[in-house]
Structure 1
Amino acid sequence: MMLFPRATGAQFAAATLAMALVVLASNILVQYPLNDWLTWGAFTYPVAFLVSDLANRRYGPDMARHVAWVGFAVAVAASLVLAPTRIAIASGLAFLLSQWLDIGLFHRLRQGLWWRAPLVATVAAACLDTAVFWSIAFAGVNDFPWITWALGDLGVKLAIGVLMLLPFRLLMGRFMAPATSA
């Protein structure tokens, strides 16, 4: 059994605030198409996996799940006010399922090469998130090219997931460094 350090209240608050802001921004930006293949939300949402993967790496899967739960609650509550109900509900369900998958896969793969856990977990979670979100949020809606948006969204999520490996590695080194007393 692995032992993880306990996060301070400020560290937990920072992680949950980051998660909530990413999800809220994504729920708003998904309503604005960039073209027939993509909405602006595709560029922000993959950062949610970075937040949970960093929390998971440093504080373990329990902390990452708590960040996901609180970030989810805050973001869905705000999204119900700022986004259509169908998007808030689809986002909430897709978010929880994909975060659980991301956190579980990351934890199982954490002992391998530094990049394997965040890459595999993010790719799998992005696929699940895309399938759940787009099929609930836009199924039956003929006014939008939602299937092509879903494909474009997935492509961008996967590309950004790969690009997020660099900040993950840089931030991992910073967060994993032992605390020093001043």
Structure 2
Amino acid sequence: MTRTHLPGILAMAAIVVASNILVQFLFGQWLTWGAFTYPLAFLVTDVMNRVYGAAAARRVVLVGFAVGVACSLIGTQIMGEFGPLVTLRVALGSGVAFLVAQLLDVAVFDRLRNAAWWHAPLVSTLIGSTLDTALFFSIAFSTALAWLEPGNDVAWANETLPLLGFGPMAPLWVSLAVADWSVKLSLALVALLPFRLIVAKLTARVA
């Protein structure tokens, strides 16, 4: 780990901490404010990967994972209206989703790094974001995984409702996952511009 990696490390840590705080605040019916900050983690990973290589990107991911675990541990000790702010399933889902999705993002980006400049960040982020959403929401809320934390009642998340309020009937957590996934996909496109600008600036500095 070198000093040149420090901005990426600090950016990742800040995003993880901010997202863990903002996830407590609702944005509309299906989202939290954390849904808009968390996808920036993929931007940080991809910038590090492009400028410093896959090994540096993986180190930043591991720092983000460690910060996320610390946030989850703190959250389990804070009692809200319905119990701990962070349950075991939420903590497990968050950690597994982050680590697996981010490392996959690094691997896919590295495989595509010689393609057009936008190809690697867009494809890796879309694949990583999709896996991240699927892992987190299924681990945290699916009744099929209730054995992970038998004492945690997730009946509220499995109430059957029209998907996003107008689609076919599905558990509530599926609507939450689809809304979250939609934000991630949208931000993957928006992030291409800052990715291009940041990479150009850092590459010039390194050169």
Q: TM-score band (shorter)? A: 0.7 to 0.9
Aligned residues: 173
Matching of residues 89-128 of structure 1 within 5 Å: 89-128=92-131
CA contact (8 A) 1:32 1:39 kept: yes
Structure exhibiting the larger radius of gyration computed from Cα positions: 2
Question: 1:79 Cα deviation (Å)?
Answer: 2.6
Matching of residues 140-179 of structure 1 within 5 Å: 140=143, 141-144=154-157, 145-179=172-206
C-alpha distance in structure 2 between counterparts of 1:18 and 1:88, whole Å: 21
Give 2:199's aligned amino acid.
M
C-alpha distance in structure 2 between counterparts of 1:129 and 1:58, whole Å: 24
Moved more, 35-44 or 103-112: 35-44
C-alpha distance in structure 2 between counterparts of 1:138 and 1:20, whole Å: 26
Once the two structures are superposed, what CA deviation does each residue of 1:25-81 show, in whole Å capped at 9, x if it has no partner? 223323333223222221011100000001000110011001101121122112320
CA contact (8 A) 2:129 2:184 kept: yes
C-alpha distance in structure 2 between counterparts of 1:179 and 1:37, whole Å: 42
CA contact (8 A) 1:27 1:87 kept: no
List gaps (5 residues or longer) in structure 1. Answer: 1-6
Matching of residues 1-182 of structure 1 within 5 Å: 8-9=2-3, 11-82=4-75, 83-85=85-87, 86-140=89-143, 141-144=154-157, 145-179=172-206
TM-score, normalization: structure 1? Answer: 0.88
Which residue in the other structure is 1:3 paired with?
none
Once the two structures are superposed, what CA deviation does each residue of 1:99-124 show, in whole Å capped at 9, x if it has no partner? 11100010111111100000000000
TM-score, normalization: structure 2? Answer: 0.78
**Relative contact order (alpha carbons < 8 A, sep ≥ 6): 1 or 2 greater?**
1
Once the two structures are superposed, what CA deviation does each residue of 1:3-46 show, in whole Å capped at 9, x if it has no partner? xxxx632x323212211221222233233332232222210111
List gaps (5 residues or longer) in structure 2. Answer: 76-84, 144-153, 158-171
C-alpha distance in structure 2 between counterparts of 1:32 and 1:137, whole Å: 18
Give 2:7's aligned amino acid.
A
CA contact (8 A) 1:24 1:76 kept: no
Q: Secondary structure at the match of 1:13?
A: helix
Q: CA RMSD in A?
A: 1.7
C-alpha distance in structure 2 between counterparts of 1:108 and 1:128, whole Å: 18
Question: 1:137 Cα deviation (Å)?
Answer: 1.7
C-alpha distance in structure 2 between counterparts of 1:103 and 1:20, whole Å: 17
CA contact (8 A) 2:16 2:67 kept: no
| Higher percent of residues as strand | 2
Q: Secondary structure at the match of 1:92?
A: helix
Identity fraction in percent: 51
C-alpha distance in structure 2 between counterparts of 1:31 and 1:147, whole Å: 19
C-alpha distance in structure 2 between counterparts of 1:105 and 1:28, whole Å: 29
Moved more, 34-43 or 115-124: 34-43
Question: 1:88 Cα deviation (Å)?
Answer: 2.4
